[in-house]
Chain A
Amino acid sequence: MTEPVVRVSQLHKSFGDNEVLKGIDLDVTRGEVVVIFGRSGSGKSTLLRCINFLEEPTSGTIEVGGVRLEPGPRTHRQREAIRSVRIKAGMVFQEFNLFPHLTVLENVIEAPVTVKGQDRAHSVAVAEELLAQVGLADKRDEHPIRLSGGQKQRVAIARALAMEPEVMMFDEPTSALDPELISEVLSVMRSLATETQMTMMVVTHEMGFAREVATSMAFFHEGLIVEQGPPGQVIADPQHAQTKRFLEAVL
């Protein structure tokens, strides 16, 4: 086994008195696709948001691509460490969060040019490739408002990929989509996993996608991972009563 790309140890997160994560340990190795599922409020999204410090964990450590992070005051060094983790961990949001004042192409090249200082022409070439990969090459000069939800999410995926992350984190990427638009996003994610062997952490309720693509599934319940294993095992033969109950409800 190679070194994990993401290593989460004893991660705790409380919002006031409400403890949302109660000690999460999770390793994601290169090329793995971990599907994280569980009831809403079980802490799945919070885990992703703690990994790139959009939420400051209460305690515990995060390691992404060899950079270790612990919660603490935002000193210059801490801010830079957080930034380097964010650059290594791409994130796709439920609500897409494309930049509405920029065109599709500009959305994709923004961070490579601004954050990484990449050459613009090179970034444009890469962005065009990525847009072709998500099937939106012809939309490069449109503004996001002219795109459907599925198209927006595919642009958001291309935008995150443009930073050449070591891991892609998907926070319920299809939950805000109309049913008929879900499959186009899932198929992009599927080819990302199977064709480019991207390391992925996916919070989703799409069990079909999980069964097909996941190398591992983690079931969240009340701030803990109560069950984890390959999809064949977790879906076919859940060990924990809560997992069983959840799967019965969604399948």
Chain B
Amino acid sequence: MRERLEQWSADIPFKVKLGMVWGVIALIVVFLFSLADFDVQWMLDHLWFIAQGLPWTIIICGLAIILAVTLALFGALGRLSNSAVAQGVTGFYTSFFRGTPLIVQMFLIFLALPQLAPPNLPGLRDSLTLTALQAGVIALGLNYGAYMTEIFRAGIQSVGHGQVEAAEALGMTYRQRMRRIVLPQAIRLIIPPTGNEFIAMLKDSALISLLGSVVAQMEIFRRAQLVGRADFRPLEAFVVAAALYWILTTIFQVFQAKLEQRLSTGYVRTLRVSTQPGVELVESEPA
């Protein structure tokens, strides 16, 4: 019996088997949900409302990742510099934002920041009072920038010393060296982990819901909470939210894999279409 089962299994392609396993898991989940009074109609009715949070989630993370990348770049250059000021400032920055919870940072920026303004300067106080969205973007950017500083630093350091020396020997300034030689090479190593950070950030952006925000600017999870609680349908609401995050992260993973492939130019010998007639493909070999 076991022998026959194994024989039978051996004839099925691995990918098909993998698909079957996923299918079985899906069936079990559907079965459990059907037992649990899962209101599909309610879910469909509110899908659109929750999905309207998608663009906000993407905008939040898009802005935050731009901030984070900028901070990480300067953070890494600072940590690698000889200047005591640059090292001190970036060291303090990464230590604080890596050493405290993101949610605390969000509340610090959203609720505590305005309090920093002296009472006799109401104008300053007003400008330090941010919307939930603004505070969320800044907190995410600062927090992820601190983590990504290490990613950028490792990427920059991975570019061989010979590259730096060759650039120096050609008379390049520090800026020219970084912009033209080091960073374009470091970027290859920086992009994959940065993609991971972005995907992690998509998920962490749900924390912004805890700051509360006006309906027009609500991201996915805040919307799910709102309708799920109002109608006592948390299961349906959060399943929708989870599915949306899942789809989003999956799309970005595919996108990231493509990007990584493109970045390998100059590092991987690739097959090229030959210009000679009769030769379809030539494997490039050093002559």
Contact = CB atoms under 8 A, between A and B. Distances in A.
A42 B83 CA distance: 34
Interface stretch (A7-15, A32-40, A91-99, A210-218): A91-99
Nearest to A149: B286
Given A91-B169, A95-B162, A101-B266, 18 more contacts: A52-B168, A79-B173, A87-B170, A93-B162, A93-B166, A98-B166, A99-B166, A100-B185, A110-B170, A111-B172, A114-B176, A115-B170, A115-B172, A115-B173, A143-B265, A145-B266, A146-B286, A151-B287
Nearest to B284: A146
Interface string A138-152: 000001111110010
Nearest to B183: A101
Contacts of A147: 286-287
A97 B168 contact: no
Contact of A101 (B160, B171, B185): B185
Contacts, number: 78
Interface of A: 52, 54, 79, 83-84, 86-87, 90-91, 93, 95, 97-102, 110-111, 114-115, 143-148, 151, 159-160, 163
Interface in B138-194: 160, 162-163, 165-173, 176, 180-181, 184-185, 188
A95 B188 CA distance: 22
B186 to A, nearest CB: 10
Question: Nearest 5 pairs between A and B by C-beta?
Answer: A97-B166, A111-B170, A143-B266, A87-B171, A91-B169
**Contact count band on B:** 20 to 34
B229 interface: no
B267 to A, nearest CB: 6
Contact of B266 (A90, A95, A144, A160): A144
